[in-house]
Amino acid sequence: MSAVFRKAATIEQWLKVAVVAALLTGCGGGGGDEPPAGNSPAPSGPSEEPPSEEPPGAETPSEEGTDEPPDEETPEEESPAEEPPMEEPPGEESPAFTAPEGLALTAGHGSVTATWDPVAGAEGYHLYYAEEPDVTPENYAAYAGGVWLQDVTSPHTVEGLTHGATYYFIVTAYANGEETPPSTTRAITLPGKIENAKTGALNDSGVVFCADATEAELDCVLAAYPNQDAQSGRDAEARAGKLGKLGDGAAGFDFLKISHAGIPLPPDAALGPAESDWACTLDNVTGLLWEIGPDEPGSLRDRTSTYSWYSTDSATNGGYEGVADNGVCSLSDCNTQAYVEAVNAVGLCGFHDWRLPTAGELASIVHHGRTTPAIDTNYFPDVPADGTPYWTSTPFAADATTAWGIDFMDGVLLYAGKAARFRVRLVRADD
C-alpha cells in the first residue's frame, strides 16, 4: 500500500511541475527541468515546487512593477584609433622647393639664350644678369648692366647685348610668394667684331681627285702618275679627314660667315639686310674678308650690277684712269672707284677700308675642283649664271687701257679693256 501511495505521490508531484512549466512556457519563459526518468523515489514530506528558472536571455521584471526592462550597462563606444603619422624611410626627405639646376647659356648675335631644368611645384622663374660676377637677386641693380627679368620660361633669349662683352646669369624659381635661392652662376662672353689680317698663307686648288692618261676624277693611288696636285696639301688632308678648320668649306678651303655688324655666324646663316644677317665671308686661310652681293635689284650692292674700271690713283692705275661711267648700277657713276667709296661710306660688316682685290687675291678663292661656277657656292652664292667676269685692281702691264679680271664660271684669269662692264667683289684686311 505504501508503494502505491508513494507512486501516486510521485505522479502528483510530477503533474504539478508539468503544469507550472506549461504556464511558464506560455508566458514566454523557458522550460524547467524535466522529471527524472523511470521510478525514481519521491522525496519524503510535502513536496515543494522548485523555483522556476528563467530561460537564457529572459528579462526580469523591474522591482517597481513597470514593464520597462532594467537598465543595462551600455558598453562605451571606443573612438577610432588615431593613425600614427607616416614616417619617412630612414635617409629620405620630402622634396624641397629648391633652386633651379642645369642653367646653360648659348651665345648669339648680340644675344644669349638661357635654358634650365624645371623645378617641381614652381609657378614661374626669374632671370637675373649683369656684366659683373657674383650677381644675386639682392645686388643685381647695383652692377653694370644689371637686369631682372620676371616671370620667364626656359628657354629664354636676351637680345640687345654688347658684342664682345661678358655676362653673368642666375635664375630662381617662385611659388606662393616664395622665391628659391639662385642657381649656380654661369658666365658667357659674346663674340666680338672680327679683326682680320693677311696671314701670308695660300689656299690649295680645291682639286681632290687624280688623273691618268685617259681619265680624271680617279682616286689618288696611281703609282704610274705620282706627285699630282690632289696628293698633297690642304686638299689631301681634307680628303683624309685630317684637316682641322676654324670654319667650314669645300676641300681644303676654310670659310666663316660674317654678319653686317662684323660678328661670326653659324654655317647655316642666311643673307639678308638685318644687322645679324650674313653679308661677308672670311677666309680663315688667307685672312681676307670678302663682300657677298645680295640678290636685291636696285640696291647699292645688288649682285647683278656692273661697273667700268676706273681709278684716279696714278700709283696703281697703270697710267690710265679708265672709264668713269660705263656700267649698270644704282649709282650715278657706275665705276669701280665710285662703288668702293659708296660701300666704305656704309661701313659694310663694320669696316670702312674696302677695296678692289688684286688678281692674286681674287684668284685665291677659285675652286679648281669644280666649274659653273668655280667657287664654293655655300660661301659665295652670288655668282650669276651669265658668266660675267669680276674686276681686279691689277692693270695689264702690256696695255694700260686694260686690267685683269676672273671668270668664275671656269676660274680663268683674263684681261679686258677698262670700259668693259664687269662685276665687283670687294675685299679688306689689315696689312
Q: Quick one: which of 281, 276, 282, 283 has its CA closest to 260?
A: 276
Residue 135: how many CB atoms within 10 A of its CB? Answer: 26
The one-letter amino acid at 398: A
DSSP 231: G
- In this prediction, residue 36 carries a pLDDT of 41
Q: How far is CA 409 from CA 78, 271, 366, 387, 388, in A?
A: 102, 22, 10, 6, 8
Percentage with pLDDT > 90 across the chain: 75
Q: What is the largest CA-CA distance in the chain?
A: 185
pLDDT at 68: 47
Choice between 194 and 35, residue whose per-residue pLDDT is larger: 194
**Which residue stretches of 244-335 are H helix?**
none
Average pLDDT rounded to a whole number, residues 240-245: 96
Q: What is the pLDDT of residue 18?
A: 52
Q: Which residue has the cell 680663315?
A: 284
The set of cell numbers assigned to 430 is 689689315
Q: What pLDDT does residue 89 have?
A: 53
Overall size of the chain counted in residues:
431
Point out which residues pair with 287 in neighbouring strands.
none
DSSP one-letter code for 301: T
Question: Whole-number mean pLDDT of the chain?
Answer: 86
Surface-to-core class of residue 30, CB atoms within 10 Å of its CB (0-12 exposed, 13-18 middle, 19+ buried): middle
Q: Residue 4 contacts by C-beta under 8 Å, 6 or more apart in sequence? A: none
Which strand (E) or helix (H) includes residue 178? Answer: strand 178-179
Average pLDDT over residues 299-313: 98
Q: What's 47-99 look like in SS3?
A: CCCCCCCCCCCCCCCCCCCCCCCCCCCCCCCCCCCCCCCCCCCCCCCCCCCCC
d(CA 189, CA 394): 41
pLDDT attached to residue 97: 82
- The three-state secondary structure class of 6 is helix
Q: How far apart are CA 425 and CA 346, in angstroms?
A: 16
Q: Specify the DSSP element, H or E, that contains 362.
A: helix 359-363
Cell of 160: 640687345
For the chain, domains (ranges, CATH) are 104-189 (2.60.40.10)
Q: What is the pTM of this model?
A: 0.74
Q: 3-class SS at 105?
A: strand
341-365, pLDDT tens digit by residue? 999 999 999 999 999 999 999 999 9
Confidence class of residue 85 from pLDDT cuts 50, 70 and 90?
low
The pLDDT of residue 223: 87
Give the integer Cα–Cα distance in Å for 416 and 393. Answer: 12
Which of 97, 157, 148, 73 has its CA nearest to residue 140? Answer: 148
pLDDT at 32: 43
Q: Element (H or E) spanning 394, and its range?
A: strand 390-395
Q: What is the mean pLDDT of residues 362-382?
A: 97
Contact 175, 149 (CB under 8 A): no
pLDDT of res. 54: 47
User: Could you give the residue ranges of the DSSP H alpha helices within 233-387?
Assistant: 233-239, 336-346, 359-363
Each residue of 115-171: pLDDT tens digit? Answer: 999 999 999 999 999 999 999 999 999 999 999 999 999 999 999 999 999 999 999
pLDDT one-digit tens code per residue, 23-55: 444 444 444 444 444 444 444 444 444 444 444
What is the model's pLDDT at position 33? 44
Low-confidence winner among 224-233, 284-293, 317-326 (lowest mean pLDDT): 224-233
